[in-house]
Structure 1
Amino acid sequence: MQYALVNQVRAHAQKGLEGVCELCNGKVIAKCGNIVVHHWSHYNRKECDKWWEPETLWHRDWKNKFPEEYREIIFKNDSTMEIHRADIYTPDGLAIEFQHSSIKKEERASRENFYNNLIWVVDGSRLINDYKRFQKKSHYLTTFYKDKNDIFEVSNTEDLLPSFWIDCSVPVVFDFMPITNSIEFCSSKGFLYCLFPQRVGRNAILAKISSVSFIQSIVNGEWNKRFSILLDELKKDDLDKRNAEEIIRLQLELTENKANKIPNKRHWRF
């Protein structure tokens, strides 16, 4: 937890301080060691966010790329009594969750349902084999979606990306950059890979985005508009593709039925 209230003012953790959690009003203490990220820790967090998890340096670095007023925004659902803290929440209603550790599919789906407009940013460097597989299968990224630069149609998504994330109902941004700091993996340095939830036929849509462009599109409010336009386009193309496939299927079925109805013209001679 990056922020707590100290004398009713939102504050970073500093050695020796105590404060109050913005979400549950519980007492918290500043933890400022030399190894872990400086953070606030509950004396008792049973009544706080059930989605809480320890924050890594990767997690904190990502949050710090956004304005302070976007970070750790409190959500309370009066009808379900759920309380949660979004990693990032923008003025135009976009939530971002940074995920380093593994989570259960049930929790993933709950978060996607709770936030009406969500992006996952996933640490692709947590398991080194995930990026090795991505790099090995990068030849899949050869078919551009409608000749759009850096947007690809991918048929073998499960071979390219971690299978846990390929069926999300929201965009998933894979961050392989921590691992690409080494010379061995420098080919993708500075780029993120965004998997969109909408498919076109059997193909997934994957975009290559610079980290700078991604952050700027969030901060300047362009992401929602661009995503909405792309999503509408993908839905239309998917429908057109399915309709075309259905027409072909019906034509083949009609041809097959006609072939089966051809009478036997064999002539018998006595």
Structure 2
Amino acid sequence: MTMKLAVVNGVRREAAPTLVGTCPGCEAPVIAKCGAIRLHHWAHRCTVSCDPWREAETEWHRAWKNHFPLEWQEIWQRGPDGGVHIADVRTSTGAVLEFQHSPISPEERVSREAFYRPMVWVADGKRLKRDLSSFCDALSYARSAETKLRAWIIPLGLSSIVDRWAGSRYPVILDFGDVEFPLRWLPESGLLWWLRYIPKVGAVATPIYRQSFIGHCLTGVSIRGLARIELRRPSRPRPGLPRFKAHLPQKRARTPRF
């Protein structure tokens, strides 16, 4: 397990040469790893990790953490069974943000959601090359969702990354970086994709602005999405398709809560 922060003389600090620290969770000695290739980080002297959920930190993890105050990062929590886990970010409202790069089993995902609630997943969409192409293909065939902001309904079986996160109880935010999506009127950069899963249907995928998501987590400002192109609503719901409420606000709508 690698960590950005360790306790040095009673203060949480980032890894730097010559520093000696302890793990904030298990209080075991940790070593400052400050090589030229990998990110500077702390590592336990022994190979046994005190938090089995932790993964090796990438530049993608570190970039997301750095959007938030240091005191919100790597917050240790102890469960009823005595086990400790470290949340990537815990906001001032108590919501946890987990930045997930490596594969995660459905069983571990369920355990984390039960432990950290409420929480939001931010998943790295660039880890597997086929994820972006299958997601873009799914958008090309997806049906528009009847929400206040532009969104699509992606059925299961069309996108590998959408399928892998199916069953999540909390919002899943996909981060594909700055890529160009097949729909020409979408912005060329600065988008995230908010997935909300509907049992036996699939996921409602809503494009939202990256900076507005970060701003919402920091200060509670409204999350900004894209206005609908067609403002007309059908007189009747489409057969077999549940009606959805908009979970992203317009200018005067209330701020969403994760």
User: What band does the TM-score fall into relative to the shorter chain?
Assistant: 0.7 to 0.9
CA distance in 1 between partners of 2:91 and 2:194 (Å): 19
* Higher mean C-alpha deviation, range 85-94 or range 38-47: 38-47
CA distance in 2 between partners of 1:57 and 1:9 (Å): 24
Q: Percent identity?
A: 37
In the TM superposition, residue 130 of structure 1 has moved relative to its aligned partner by: 0.5
CA distance in 2 between partners of 1:93 and 1:196 (Å): 21
- Look up the match of 2:22: 20
- Look up the match of 2:64: 62
- Look up the match of 2:151: 151
Please give the residue correspondences for 1:13-162 in structure 2 after superposition, counting only pairs within 5 Å: 13-44=15-46, 46=48, 48-77=50-79, 79-146=80-147, 148-152=148-152, 154-162=153-161
Verify the 8 A CA contact 1:13 1:32 in the aligned structure 2: yes
CA distance in 2 between partners of 1:157 and 1:216 (Å): 31
Verify the 8 A CA contact 2:126 2:177 in the aligned structure 1: yes
Verify the 8 A CA contact 2:74 2:89 in the aligned structure 1: yes
TM-score, normalization: structure 1?
0.74
- Look up the match of 1:169: 169
TM-score, normalization: structure 2?
0.78
CA distance in 1 between partners of 2:212 and 2:242 (Å): 33
For residues 82-126 of structure 1, the C-alpha deviation after alignment (integer angstroms, 9 at most, x for no partner) is 200000001111001101111222111110111110111110000
In the alignment, structure 2 segments of 5+ residues that lack a partner are 181-185, 224-236, 244-258
CA distance in 2 between partners of 1:38 and 1:142 (Å): 45
CA distance in 1 between partners of 2:164 and 2:131 (Å): 11
The one-letter amino acid paired with 2:193 is Y
- Look up the match of 1:192: 192
User: Is the helix fraction higher in 1 or 2?
Assistant: 1
Change (3 A) 1:23 1:200: closer
Secondary structure in 1 matching 2:144: coil
Aligned residues: 222
CA distance in 2 between partners of 1:39 and 1:133 (Å): 34
CA distance in 2 between partners of 1:222 and 1:140 (Å): 32
CA distance in 2 between partners of 1:202 and 1:63 (Å): 33
Change (3 A) 1:6 1:217: same
CA distance in 1 between partners of 2:17 and 2:241 (Å): 60
Please give the residue correspondences for 1:253-268 in structure 2 after superposition, counting only pairs within 5 Å: none
For residues 202-249 of structure 1, the C-alpha deviation after alignment (integer angstroms, 9 at most, x for no partner) is 35322111110110011113579xxxxxxxxxxxx9xx9769xxxxxx
Verify the 8 A CA contact 1:95 1:118 in the aligned structure 2: yes
In the TM superposition, residue 25 of structure 1 has moved relative to its aligned partner by: 0.2
For residues 24-46 of structure 1, the C-alpha deviation after alignment (integer angstroms, 9 at most, x for no partner) is 10100110111111100110253
CA distance in 1 between partners of 2:190 and 2:49 (Å): 39
Change (3 A) 1:129 1:242: closer
Verify the 8 A CA contact 2:100 2:124 in the aligned structure 1: yes
Verify the 8 A CA contact 2:192 2:210 in the aligned structure 1: yes
Q: Who wins on radius of gyration, i.e. which is larger?
A: 1
The one-letter amino acid paired with 2:220 is G
Secondary structure in 1 matching 2:170: coil
CA distance in 2 between partners of 1:69 and 1:122 (Å): 22
In the TM superposition, residue 47 of structure 1 has moved relative to its aligned partner by: 5.7
The one-letter amino acid paired with 1:46 is V
The one-letter amino acid paired with 2:86 is R
For residues 38-65 of structure 1, the C-alpha deviation after alignment (integer angstroms, 9 at most, x for no partner) is 1001102536111121101111111111
Residue 4 (str. 1) matches residue 25 (str. 2):
no
Q: Which runs of 4+ in 1 moved over 6 A?
A: 240-243
Secondary structure in 1 matching 2:157: helix
